[in-house]
Amino acid sequence: MAKGFCHWALLVLVLILGSIRPSEQLPSSQAQTLIRIQGILNFPAILSSWNNNTDFCDTEPSSSLTVVCYEESITQLHIIGHKGVPPLPRNFSIDSFITTLVKLPSLKVLTLVSLGLWGPMPSKIARLSSLEILNISSNYFYGTIPEEIAYLTSLQTLILDDNMFIGELSDWLSLLPVLAVLSLKKNSFNGSLPSSLGSLENLRILTLSHNRFYGEVPDLSSLDNLQVLDLEDNALGPQFPRLGTKLVTLVLKKNRFSSGIPVEVSSYYQLERLDISYNRFAGPFPPSLLALPSVTYLNIAGNKFTGMLFGYQSCNAGLEFVDLSSNLLTGNLPNCLKSDSKKRVVLYGRNCLATGEQNQHPFSFCRNEALAVGIIPHRKKQKGASKAVLALGTIGGILGGIALFCLVFLVVRRVNAKKATKTPPTKLIAENASTVYSSKLFSDARYVSQTMNLGALGLPAYRTFSLEELEEATNNFDTSTFMGEGSQGQMYRGKLKDGSLVAIRCLKMKKSHSTQNFMHHIELILKLRHRHLVSSLGHCFECYLDDASVSRIFLIFEYVPNGTLRSWISEGRSRQTLSWTQRIAAAIGVAKGIEFLHTGILPGVYSNNLKITDILLDQNLVAKISSYNLPLLAENMGKVSSGISSGGSKEFSVNARVQHEDKIDIYDFGVILLELIMGRPFNSTNEVDVIRNWLQACVTADDASRRNMVDAAVHRTCSDESLKTMMEICIRCLHKDPAERPSIEDVLWNLQFAAQVEDALRGDSDSSDGSPAFPSLPPRLRLNIH
Ligand SMILES: *[C@@H]1O[C@H](CO)[C@@H](O)[C@H](O)[C@H]1NC(C)=O
Ligand SMILES: *[C@@H]1O[C@H](CO)[C@@H](O)[C@H](O)[C@H]1NC(C)=O
Ligand SMILES: *[C@@H]1O[C@H](CO)[C@@H](O)[C@H](O)[C@H]1NC(C)=O
Ligand SMILES: *[C@@H]1O[C@H](CO)[C@@H](O)[C@H](O)[C@H]1NC(C)=O
């Protein structure tokens, strides 16, 4: 970029130089000003030729000193010192320097580079109202940029590189309407980029590299003239910037970009240099980037790009430098990159390519890593990062065989958020990516058709989330987003960028394990997607900086908006309660969820401690189980020995399996069913036992006594046949002897039978609660039950 700009600057210079007549006589006041400047700058060597008799307008321009006059005024002043000059002595005053300088009011171009200038930029600079180009690089300016700079309305080029400026870029930018070049690299600017950047329609070069900017890049797509965008080494992201198509140079290196590369990039036909290395990009690498018509430099190193390369893929003939290293690429290096041409550098190490060269990882590493989440220490030098990646490489083969860890999910209760004052610790880093998980991982689920059909579930593909994304979604885990706390972590409600709501469970790890150790569990979790489960959407690891062990795991679930099943049955009577058919439908939903937990995945998930308060209803009143027994860490982490054996967790869950363990869930389901029928909660096993016995007595009695038992809210509308069936299956579920309880398939069959009976009775008529009683029903019904 510097090269391009220099050409351009030189051109301007030549044009301006060419347009002046060489022997203008400068008024003595301006000559005096220059002499004073010489003194204030402490008589630097480059100005040694200046004295009281110098004809400033008639000196030969040199690379370090140029004075240009026009109509008896100095219009350009270029003073360029030696690189790395120390700051001027203590008696230097930036204020008197600028005060002197503004006595050259016609200055259009001012270059004061490497002169040791120090101090905050005085707002008086705004008096140089003709200024078009200002370059004060490589000095020691500090403090913020004075807002008065906005008075320099002719300013086309502002270069403050390599100083110590701080603060945010604020709206003064939008007041510089003709700004074409803005270069602020190597300062300490911070804050997010103002959206007014997107309205600087003359902007051609925007260089903000090596600062501390963070957050999203504002939409720059309307900057039709933008050719150079250099954002290297900030903390920007995660969304790929929106840009116009005329870019020539795009450098996003060393930021926090993680969203995929948008397809538009393939249409940047003028793009010569693309450097997106050392970000957090994940997902497939688009090989079309190699074939961009103008590309000569392509660097994607140090990301987590996945995908398979093929020999036949094509490249732009002009490519001079390609760096694909340290990604998760598989397949074969495209043949077009293999030529031995000395003119072209091709780097591709630390991938999983099918070539013996340049230090490739085994294929499994890329597969596992695509699942896992990498560790790139925040704001550390690149060396650190590649070390961490290497370290991951060495442990890459180990698949975590940890013991079982229990997790109570999603206790979605309205708990006061008092306790949730914990702020995320700062010593930690998180790594992320938004890997979309391939459905191949679902292939060992038995009910493949159910789980694979994500579209039918209406859920986005499972992926990893970045911590930033979660922080943003929860407003930094603000207490207002706190939903509750279970034994193993807190629940937060979050709103993603796309507007969708999610529930986020945060689990603190007690023992240090690398992300690899958790991959077995993540593979299980990502299979837990079913219409009747509150399904997993993804996860996020947060790791300690020092040893990259996992400090917290965030599990992201779909957010189910319509409250608990209990709130529709026996609580909050202000709300409409579920009709009898809706109750049967809810019971079927829960039973299908249980069936999926038991048999839909391997190993099955049993002993889920099902409670009606953990059954949630979505906007269509579809019942979803929100709390199930997952083999995930926390308290059981204590039992994990340091010698991790692969497959250990499977073993453990097999051992842990008690006889008839599936029947524990059947009993819990019976309790839920009981509440659906009776319309009130039961607080103890004793109470359940008593009611069960009573129910048993009624079932064999007549229709009227059965009807007396049932919730007053529905007892007018349920048919005798379905009521009887529901009661019978409920009684069997609550049997003391687990062996006597029905199987989940049996339960489902009976529930579906009850639903069919209702359907048949109702025909196509609407099945809402308020429908009139059936003629077959007894005319008088007792409205009170105990
Ligand atoms: C230049 O002139 C000023 C007065 O106009 C005088 O003070 C100074 O000493 C002179 N400097 C030189 C180098 O002759
Ligand atoms: C500033 O101090 C330097 C020595 O550190 C001295 O040579 C110079 O004359 C002083 N300049 C002024 C303007 O006082
Ligand atoms: C600022 O001026 C210096 C000296 O002429 C030059 O080397 C540098 O490239 C300029 N900065 C930019 C961004 O052009
Ligand atoms: C920017 O940095 C300064 C200190 O250098 C700090 O006081 C300020 O809070 C930072 N601003 C933002 C928005 O981070």
Domain borders along the chain are 23-167, 258-376, 382-443, 562-786
Residues 6+ apart with CB under 8 A from 502: 473, 493, 494, 495, 496, 537, 556, 557, 558, 559
Ligand nearest to the CA of 168: 4
Q: Which of the residue ranges 112-126, 436-450, 645-659 would you say has the lowest mean pLDDT?
A: 436-450
Confidence bin at 8 (pLDDT 50/70/90): low
Q: Which residue has the higher pLDDT, 543 or 384?
A: 543
pLDDT, tens digit, 9 for 90 and up, residues 240-263:
999 998 999 999 999 999 988 888
Atom of ligand 1 nearest to the CA of 53: 14
Q: Across residues 718-746, what is the average pLDDT?
A: 91
The pLDDT assigned to 408 comes to 26
572, 576, 581, 585 alpha-carbon torsion, rounded to 10°: -60
Atom of ligand 3 nearest to the CA of 181: 13
**Residue 78 CA, ligand 3 centroid: distance in Å:** 10
86 close to ligand 2 (CB < 6 Angstrom): no
Q: Which residue has the higher pLDDT, 312 or 183?
A: 183
Q: Which of the residue ranges 130-144, 300-314, 549-563 would you say has the lowest mean pLDDT?
A: 549-563
The pLDDT assigned to 426 comes to 33
Mutate to test the pocket of ligand 1, among 32, 35, 38 (most ligand atoms within 8 A of CB): 35
**Residue 182 CA, ligand 3 centroid: distance in Å:** 12
Confidence bin at 761 (pLDDT 50/70/90): confident
Q: Across residues 7-15, what is the average pLDDT?
A: 55
Confidence bin at 27 (pLDDT 50/70/90): confident
164 close to ligand 4 (CB < 6 Angstrom): no
Q: Which residue has the higher pLDDT, 559 or 484?
A: 559
Q: Whose CA is nearest to atom 14 of ligand 2?
A: 91
* Integer Cα distance of 371 and 519 in angstroms: 7
Mutate to test the pocket of ligand 4, among 190, 193, 234, 426 (most ligand atoms within 8 A of CB): 190
Asked whether residue 421 carries a pLDDT value surpassing 80, the answer given is no
Q: Which of the residue ranges 119-133, 676-690, 727-741, 755-769 would you say has the lowest mean pLDDT?
A: 755-769
Tokens of 610: 């099902």
Q: Which of the residue ranges 18-32, 146-160, 377-391, 675-689 would you say has the lowest mean pLDDT?
A: 377-391
The pLDDT assigned to 443 comes to 34
Domain 258-376 shares a fold with domain 562-786: no
51 close to ligand 1 (CB < 6 Angstrom): yes
Asked whether residue 237 carries a pLDDT value surpassing 50, the answer given is yes
Helices (H), 526-643: 580-595
52 close to ligand 1 (CB < 6 Angstrom): yes
Q: Across residues 364-376, what is the average pLDDT?
A: 64
Atom of ligand 4 nearest to the CA of 166: 5
Residues 6+ apart with CB under 8 A from 232: 185, 209, 210, 251, 252, 253, 254, 255, 275
**Residue 42 CA, ligand 2 centroid: distance in Å:** 7
457 close to ligand 4 (CB < 6 Angstrom): no
Asked whether the beta carbons of 537 and 459 are under 8 A apart, the reply is yes
Asked whether residue 700 carries a pLDDT value surpassing 60, the answer given is yes
Asked whether residue 88 carries a pLDDT value surpassing 50, the answer given is yes
Asked whether residue 446 carries a pLDDT value surpassing 50, the answer given is no
Ligand nearest to the CA of 142: 4
- For domain 562-786, the CATH superfamily is Transferase(Phosphotransferase) domain 1 (1.10.510.10)
Rounded to the nearest 5 degrees, what angle is found at the Cα of 174, between the Cα atoms of 169 and 179?
95
Q: Across residues 281-306, what is the average pLDDT?
A: 92
Asked whether the beta carbons of 474 and 505 are under 8 A apart, the reply is no
Fold of domain 23-167: 3.80.10
Instruction: Calculate what percentage of the chain has a pLDDT beyond 90.
Output: 40
CATH architecture of 258-376: Alpha-Beta Horseshoe (3.80)
190 close to ligand 4 (CB < 6 Angstrom): yes
Asked whether residue 20 carries a pLDDT value surpassing 50, the answer given is no
CA atoms within 13 A on the CB side of 246: 11
The pLDDT assigned to 371 comes to 67
Tokens of 595: 């069936």
Q: Which residue has the higher pLDDT, 373 or 105?
A: 105
Burial class (CB in 10 A: 0-12, 13-18, 19+), 407: buried
**Residue 476 CA, ligand 4 centroid: distance in Å:** 18
**Residue 116 CA, ligand 1 centroid: distance in Å:** 24
**Residue 66 CA, ligand 2 centroid: distance in Å:** 25
3-class secondary structure, 760: helix
Atom of ligand 3 nearest to the CA of 207: 13
* Average pLDDT of every residue of the chain: 78
The pLDDT assigned to 119 comes to 95
Highest mean pLDDT among 271-280, 334-343, 679-688: 271-280
Identify the residues whose C-beta falls under 6 Å from ligand 3: 2, 5-6, 9, 80, 111, 113, 135, 137, 159, 161, 183
Residues 6+ apart with CB under 8 A from 394: none
Q: Across residues 633-650, what is the average pLDDT?
A: 34
Mutate to test the pocket of ligand 3, among 1, 3, 6 (most ligand atoms within 8 A of CB): 6
The pLDDT assigned to 749 comes to 87
The pLDDT assigned to 350 comes to 92
Tokens of 19: 């347009």
Residue carrying the six token digits 């402490």: 42
Residue carrying the six token digits 């999203």: 216
Ligand nearest to the CA of 188: 4
Asked whether residue 416 carries a pLDDT value surpassing 50, the answer given is no
Confidence bin at 138 (pLDDT 50/70/90): very high
Asked whether residue 671 carries a pLDDT value surpassing 90, the answer given is yes
Q: Which residue has the higher pLDDT, 620 or 192?
A: 192
Q: Whose CA is nearest to atom 11 of ligand 1?
A: 52
Ligand nearest to the CA of 50: 1
**Residue 90 CA, ligand 2 centroid: distance in Å:** 8
Highest mean pLDDT among 33-37, 626-630, 775-779: 33-37
Strands 282-284 and 304-309: parallel
DSSP β-bridge partners for residue 625 = 533, 615
Q: CA 501 → CA 307, 316, 354, 563, 741, distances in Å?
A: 30, 43, 42, 14, 38
Fill in the DSSP letter of residue 596. I
